A and B are shown apart, each in its own frame.
Chain A
Amino acid sequence: MQVHIKDDKPFIDMMDDVLQQEGETASWEHFQMAYTAAKETNIDTFTGLVAPGYLPHMTFHPHQLEASRRVVEEMNGRAILADEVGLGKTIEAGLVLKELMIRGLVKKVLLLVPASLVNQWVNELNSKFHIPAASQRKQYVWEHYDVIVSSIDLAKRSPHREIILEQDYDFVLIDEAHKLKNSQTKNYAFIQSLKKKYCLLLTATPVQNKLSDIYNLVSLLKPGYLGSYKQFKDTYGDDRRDAEEHHYLKELIRKVMVRNRRGETGLQWTKRKVETIWIDFTEQERLVYENMQDSTSAAATFAKITLLRELCSSREAAYLSMKKMVEENPETGNAYLPVMKEIEKLPQHSKALKVVELIKAAPPGEKFIIFTEYRATQFYLQWTLKQHDISSVPFRGGFKAGKKDWMRELFEKHAQVLIATEAGGEGINLQFCSNMINYDLPWNPMRLEQRIGRIHRFGQKKDVQIYNFAVRNTLEAHILELLYKKINLFERVIGNLDHILAELQVSDVEKEIKRIFADSRSEGEIKVKLDNLTAVITETGEQLERDKLHG
Chain B
Amino acid sequence: MDRHTLHQFLKKFFLTNGCQLIEEKEGLLHFLLTPELDEELMNRPFYWRYKKRLGQEGDPMELTLLTDPNETAEKAEHIHFGSPRLHKIFRLIRDSAQVARLYEKVDTASRTPLYPWLIRNMSVHFSGKRKRTETHSVGLQLLNGQLETDWMENFSQVEFKQQISDQCYCLSPIIRYQSGYQRISSYMHTYLDTIDDSWVKETKDTLKQEEDLLAHFFDQSAQEELEEEIREERAALYKNELDAVHKRLVPSIQMETINAGIFYLSEETARKLFHKKEA
Most buried by A among B130, B160, B161, B241: B130
- Contact indicator B237/A193 (Cβ below 8 Å): yes
- Contact indicator A43/B210 (Cβ below 8 Å): no
Which residues of B, 81-134, contact A by the 8 Å Cβ criterion?
A: 81-84, 87, 89-90, 93-94, 96-102, 121-123, 125-134
Which residues of A, 187-226, contact B by the 8 Å Cβ criterion?
A: 192-193, 195-198, 219, 222-225
B172 in the interface, Cβ–Cβ < 8 Å? Answer: no
Q: Which residues of A contact B71 (CB under 8 A)?
A: none
Q: Which residues of B contact A15 (CB under 8 A)?
A: 98-99, 177, 181, 260
- Contact indicator A42/B133 (Cβ below 8 Å): yes
The stretch from A23-31, A360-368, A436-444 touching chain B is A23-31
Neighbour of A19 across the interface among B84, B101, B134, CB < 8 A: B101
Q: For the complex, give the distance between the alpha carbons of A45 and B256 in Å.
A: 17
- Contact indicator B255/A38 (Cβ below 8 Å): no
Q: Chain A, 122-151, contact with B by CB distance < 8 Å: what is the 0/1 string?
A: 000000001010000000000000000000
Q: For the complex, give the distance between the alpha carbons of A132 and B84 in Å.
A: 9
Q: Which residues of A contact B244 (CB under 8 A)?
A: 195-197
- Nearest CB of chain B from residue A538's CB, rounded to whole Å: 41
Q: Apart from A27-B100, A73-B130, A130-B84, list 17 A-B contacts with CB within 8 A.
A: A2-B197, A4-B253, A5-B189, A5-B255, A8-B257, A11-B257, A12-B181, A14-B98, A15-B98, A15-B181, A27-B16, A29-B16, A33-B12, A34-B96, A40-B90, A103-B132, A195-B244
B258 in the interface, Cβ–Cβ < 8 Å? Answer: yes
B137 in the interface, Cβ–Cβ < 8 Å? Answer: yes
- Nearest CB of chain A from residue B50's CB, rounded to whole Å: 22
- Nearest CB of chain B from residue A165's CB, rounded to whole Å: 10
B26 in the interface, Cβ–Cβ < 8 Å? Answer: no
B20 in the interface, Cβ–Cβ < 8 Å? Answer: no
Taking CB as reference atom, which chain B residue is nearest A22?
B101
The stretch from A50-58, A241-249, A458-466 touching chain B is A50-58
Q: For the complex, give the distance between the alpha carbons of A39 and B247 in Å.
A: 25
- Contact indicator A28/B82 (Cβ below 8 Å): no
Q: For the complex, give the distance between the alpha carbons of A36 and B80 in Å.
A: 15
Which residues of A, 150-206, contact B by the 8 Å Cβ criterion?
A: 192-193, 195-198
- Contact indicator B99/A18 (Cβ below 8 Å): yes
B199 in the interface, Cβ–Cβ < 8 Å? Answer: yes
Q: For the complex, give the distance between the alpha carbons of A26 and B135 in Å.
A: 20
Neighbour of B248 across the interface among A25, A77, A193, CB < 8 A: A77
- Nearest CB of chain B from residue A460's CB, rounded to whole Å: 24
Q: Chain B, 186-222, contact with A by CB distance < 8 Å: what is the 0/1 string?
A: 0001001101010110000010001001111110110
- Nearest CB of chain B from residue A68's CB, rounded to whole Å: 13
Q: For the complex, give the distance between the alpha carbons of A1 and B258 in Å.
A: 23
- Contact indicator A4/B197 (Cβ below 8 Å): no
A293 in the interface, Cβ–Cβ < 8 Å? Answer: no
Taking CB as reference atom, which chain B residue is nearest A56?
B80
Q: Interface residues of B: mostly helix, strand, loop or mixed? A: mixed
Q: Which residues of B contact A24 (CB under 8 A)?
A: 162
Range for the number of chain A residues in contact with chain B: 35 or more
Which residues of A, 240-263, contact B by the 8 Å Cβ criterion?
A: none
Q: For the complex, give the distance between the alpha carbons of A37 and B261 in Å.
A: 17
- Contact indicator A1/B192 (Cβ below 8 Å): yes
A32 in the interface, Cβ–Cβ < 8 Å? Answer: yes
A1-B197, A27-B16, A53-B81 as given contacts; A46 in contact with B248, CB under 8 Å: no
**A-B pair number, CB within 8 angstroms:** 220
- Contact indicator B122/A8 (Cβ below 8 Å): yes
Q: Which residues of B contact A77 (CB under 8 A)?
A: 248
- Contact indicator B252/A40 (Cβ below 8 Å): no
The 4 closest A-B pairs by CB, nearest first: A54-B82, A224-B217, A224-B213, A228-B220
Would you mind naming 5 contact pairs between A and B with Cβ atoms under 8 Å apart?
A12-B177, A18-B99, A35-B258, A44-B134, A196-B244
Q: For the complex, give the distance between the alpha carbons of A371 and B200 in Å.
A: 57
B9 in the interface, Cβ–Cβ < 8 Å? Answer: yes
- Contact indicator B259/A26 (Cβ below 8 Å): yes
- Contact indicator A42/B93 (Cβ below 8 Å): no
Q: For the complex, give the distance between the alpha carbons of A47 and B128 in Å.
A: 12
B144 in the interface, Cβ–Cβ < 8 Å? Answer: no
Q: Which residues of B contact A7 (CB under 8 A)?
A: 185, 255
Most buried by B among A1, A25, A29, A196: A1
A33-B9, A103-B130, A228-B221 as given contacts; A19 in contact with B82, CB under 8 Å: no
A401 in the interface, Cβ–Cβ < 8 Å? Answer: no
- Contact indicator B82/A55 (Cβ below 8 Å): yes
- Nearest CB of chain B from residue A27's CB, rounded to whole Å: 6
- Contact indicator B192/A26 (Cβ below 8 Å): no
Neighbour of B97 across the interface among A26, A224, A231, CB < 8 A: A26
Q: Which residues of A contact B185 (CB under 8 A)?
A: 7
Q: Chain B, 225-258, contact with A by CB distance < 8 Å: what is the 0/1 string?
A: 0000000000011001101100111011111111
Q: Which residues of B contact A324 (CB under 8 A)?
A: none
Q: For the complex, give the distance between the alpha carbons of A8 and B13 in Å.
A: 27
- Contact indicator B214/A224 (Cβ below 8 Å): yes
- Contact indicator B192/A5 (Cβ below 8 Å): yes
A19-B262, A76-B129 as given contacts; A26 in contact with B98, CB under 8 Å: yes
Q: Which residues of B contact A4 (CB under 8 A)?
A: 251-253
Q: Chain B, 23-45, contact with A by CB distance < 8 Å: what is the 0/1 string?
A: 00000000000000000000000
Q: For the complex, give the distance between the alpha carbons of A511 and B125 in Å.
A: 58
- Contact indicator A28/B100 (Cβ below 8 Å): yes
Q: For the complex, give the distance between the alpha carbons of A197 and B82 in Å.
A: 24
Taking CB as reference atom, which chain B residue is nearest A219?
B217
A105 in the interface, Cβ–Cβ < 8 Å? Answer: yes
- Contact indicator A30/B257 (Cβ below 8 Å): no
Q: For the complex, give the distance between the alpha carbons of A4 and B129 in Å.
A: 15
Q: For the complex, give the distance between the alpha carbons of A25 and B133 in Å.
A: 27
Q: For the complex, give the distance between the alpha carbons of A20 and B25 in Å.
A: 44
- Contact indicator A11/B9 (Cβ below 8 Å): no
Most buried by B among A3, A12, A29, A53: A3
Q: Which residues of B contact A12 (CB under 8 A)?
A: 177-178, 181, 257, 260
Neighbour of B261 across the interface among A31, A54, A223, CB < 8 A: A31
A72 in the interface, Cβ–Cβ < 8 Å? Answer: yes
Taking CB as reference atom, which chain B residue is nearest A126?
B84
Neighbour of B90 across the interface among A3, A37, A224, CB < 8 A: A37
Taking CB as reference atom, which chain A residue is nearest B253?
A5
- Contact indicator A228/B98 (Cβ below 8 Å): no
- Contact indicator A130/B83 (Cβ below 8 Å): yes
Q: Which residues of B contact A55 (CB under 8 A)?
A: 82
A521 in the interface, Cβ–Cβ < 8 Å? Answer: no
Q: For the complex, give the distance between the alpha carbons of A14 and B80 in Å.
A: 32
B54 in the interface, Cβ–Cβ < 8 Å? Answer: no
- Nearest CB of chain A from residue B97's CB, rounded to whole Å: 4
B159 in the interface, Cβ–Cβ < 8 Å? Answer: yes
- Contact indicator B130/A25 (Cβ below 8 Å): no
